[in-house]
Structure 1
């Protein structure tokens, strides 16, 4: 009498039409068809998001494949019958309850088929010739039957990942270009209006830039990021046209007065301010402080600050390799954020030059979360005067947020 392979699971497990379809597909595969078990496993790992299985479920599949002696999956002898204990050991000591859950996931995903014995145990019966005549366990036939499907799913996922990577690179390049072009326009005093039309000043352009950047999701999809990349590309092109138009109209042989105006416009404290100073402070001196930087005791390393606030580097002329570069970059960013000279001087007097500059970098990093940078830094200055503010927790929170974003990505 010919042996009969079970089609229904043992015990309380139910049979679904998806299980029947998987069994029919495995039965219809050509007997001579063969696939490399580790090649198809790697393909399944790539196609995992489309198959709806977890990494731990794939580790169980890996363990099941190790019980098949041959490298090639072909023919009829594709049923493996390890005990739960042995399978758990090869799955790196996975608990029995977790093992059963992930086996069910593999069955529901159509990667394996249950071939349960009458009592639910896994074993094999041998014939008179000593070969296995009937086995009860897990059938690996679907891996052979669906090998081409797995290849197609993996290729589609890899193509989508490449497109997502390209659009992220495009956003990164546009973001860097826009930040540096805005900084150059402010320092050089490039007018933003042409023929009476255009943005009022570079602060307004920077506000548009920050509004676009604030819409970038932490774990954005291709459909979400492509429109943002288009907007950033358009904004970068418009800013570049402003700079190019200015260079064309500028007299190539600049005279001494033009040179003096250039020096004057290079002073970031002379730029337009969004937050007006109080009446009694409007006459206060806004002369830049001494170039000598003395780091206060207990200050945080520059590397840690840049790790927490990487966006500040987008505005640097030649990168940030020391505190002097950092302070020079903050001098460019500070007026863009709308922090008035009076608020800046109060923060420097209370916190110190370096600590106040780090706060500005943190405000830039938080982007649209802070609606009024000037009011925010004044509030922090008051807290610092009362001893209720420390820059350490702020940096650690930003670093932690970036790490969580990387994990989600």
Structure 2
């Protein structure tokens, strides 16, 4: 015996009497926008793509004003055979789709004793059940939109982990060509789902995979650091001569910081060019990697100094990764990517910045923007626009990130001294 799904309670509500109240769409919602909303949330209602599209088509056959009028309910009184012709479907297929929509609480079938439909008899396909659920469906639509944004963010983080992992493995191959630990890491990375498969993973599975990818990348970076140490190579978080000569100017520069209006990056009067290069942020399935594995800014200033200049929210993320003095480029990029959606910056604005500036400068731009937004009395109304403005200034050669760091440091010191 075939399984029959129970009808949604909304489908059995009685709107049959002329004296019944007629539900209306809330606020400024109209027929077409509501039908599109239903189509978006249909999978969560157990409605397939064909039935969801049919709902949109059926809704378009009604009068738009009936969806917002308190004295009538939109309906289709055409016979089932006529509806099938209008949808371009067979009658059995149309009947199955109608039943699917009714079970989901999106339409109500009212028929005469012989199955007939007519305007005079008040029979046909009625949409009052769906309208009565408009607020509920809007909440569901908002949840799905938030999940889609989270999925975009997670795919971006997986892309970052893959790029950094490949670069770490390249470094290990140069230092220790026959390292068994590196081979084990490479073998595990080969089992990762492709970029295309990431789009088909549900949110829970995607979150789990991205956490595993992050951990494998950090394992590879730990191994690279150990091998560099034994081979006498440079370590990313070791203080260099350039850091020693830069730190003093960072904390003691007395030149006035130009405070501009909210939404515009501060203009720097000294010309300190940020690192060159701009990796493409799109993940390549062939394993090719681009982007810096190490940060010129971290080498110059040290991870502790950058940590101190970060916002409290970014510092909270970084503290969960390592002690400040042991933070790596991967950790700062990871934290910056976490702050991007929290600041209301779109993935497109972040990807554009990363492609134009390179990960190093883009990461530092987020750190600066985030820190300035946290300053008392300083309001950045549109962080996404602020980042785009920084990107444009970078392209024109007018973005001076070291000067911005000097400004952050001076304001921190002034705040501590007050």
TM-score w.r.t. structure 2 length?
0.48
> Which structure has the larger Rg over C-alpha atoms?
1
TM-score w.r.t. structure 1 length?
0.49
